[in-house]
């Protein structure tokens, strides 16, 4: 009895390589928060270490970035001067790989500086100024996840509050014996500031 013909051999299956990272959308919006530290010489040209806490919103095009940022810099000693910087951002980005993004941005806006007193000092009146601010920032970020919608990275920014502005205030100083003295005080506001920190955020829309 004749045997049925054998089925032709099947070609080998192609190797199962890891899937490539998905391509990014052409345009998208990212919201981020960041935390770090820095320094400023904005009060009387005295350099002071500061904490830094910020939020950034960015529109991304193919190479263009536009957005806004808000940075709060309180003194690290529990008192003293603090600064709130609100800026508009514009710059460029490049993605050398699907998982690496480099950014260079210019920023401009305002810097609100408050003397704020300290552990043994209270500012009774005055003690604040709002100055124009110009600066820039560089960033490195790593788009994560299957859709690259989570962003983890780093910011470093620097700039200057354009001054100087002379601020007159009334200040109460107290010593360890709780003896207090109230007197006028004059400070000069204006100078450089910088900060750096870790950033984390995600895309909230893409098209």
Task: Tell me the per-residue pLDDT of 145-187, one tens digit each, with 9 for 90 and over.
Answer: 887 889 999 999 999 999 889 988 888 878 777 788 888 888 8
- CA 131 to CA 85: how far, in whole Å? 10
Please tell me the number of Cα atoms within 13 Å of 82 on its side-chain side.
Answer: 17
Plot region of 14 (φ>0 → left; ψ -120 to 50 → alpha; else → beta) = beta
100-114 and 82-97: which strand pairing?
Answer: antiparallel
Sequence-ordered list of residues with C-beta below 8 angstroms from that of 133, at least 6 positions apart, any chain: 85, 87, 107, 108, 109, 110, 111, 159, 160, 161, 162
Mean of pLDDT values over 101-121? 86
- pTM value is 0.81
User: 178 vs 58, which has greater pLDDT?
Assistant: 58
Mean of pLDDT values over 113-133? 79
What tokens were used for 68? Answer: 């806004």
- pLDDT over 90 percentage in the chain: 50
Strands (E), the chain: 28-40, 48-60, 64-73, 82-97, 100-114, 121-126, 128-144, 150-174, 180-206
pLDDT at 178: 76
Q: Which residues pair with 136 in a beta bridge?
A: 106, 158
Which DSSP category does 75 fall into? Answer: B
Radius of gyration of the chain (CA): 27
pLDDT at 28: 84
Most confident of 42-46, 170-174, 186-190, 191-195: 191-195
User: 172 vs 139, which has greater pLDDT?
Assistant: 139
Q: Which CATH architecture has domain 28-206?
A: Beta Barrel (2.40)
- CA 24 to CA 137: how far, in whole Å? 23
Indicate the domain borders of the chain: 28-206
């Amino acid at each position: 009895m004749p045997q049925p013909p054998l089925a032709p051999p099947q070609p080998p299956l192609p190797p199962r390589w890891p899937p490539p990272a998905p391509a990014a959308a052409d345009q998208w919006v990212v919201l981020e928060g960041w935390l770090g530290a820095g320094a400023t010489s904005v009060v009387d040209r005295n350099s002071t270490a500061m904490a830094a806490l910020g939020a950034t919103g960015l529109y991304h095009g193919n190479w263009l970035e536009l957005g806004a940022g808000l940075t709060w810099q309180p003194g690290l000693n529990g008192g003293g001067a603090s600064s709130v910087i609100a800026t508009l951002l514009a710059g460029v980005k490049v993605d050398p790989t699907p998982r690496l993004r480099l950014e260079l941005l210019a920023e401009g806006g305002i810097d609100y500086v408050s003397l704020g007193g300290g552990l043994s000092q209270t500012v009774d009146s005055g003690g604040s100024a709002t100055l124009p601010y110009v600066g820039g920032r560089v960033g490195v970020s790593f788009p994560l996840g299957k859709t690259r919608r989570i962003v983890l990275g780093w910011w470093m920014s620097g700039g200057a509050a354009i001054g100087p502005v002379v601020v007159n205030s009334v200040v109460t100083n107290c010593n360890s014996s709780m003896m207090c003295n109230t007197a006028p005080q004059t400070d000069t506001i204006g100078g450089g500031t910088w900060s750096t920190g870790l950033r984390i955020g995600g895309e909230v829309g893409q098209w």
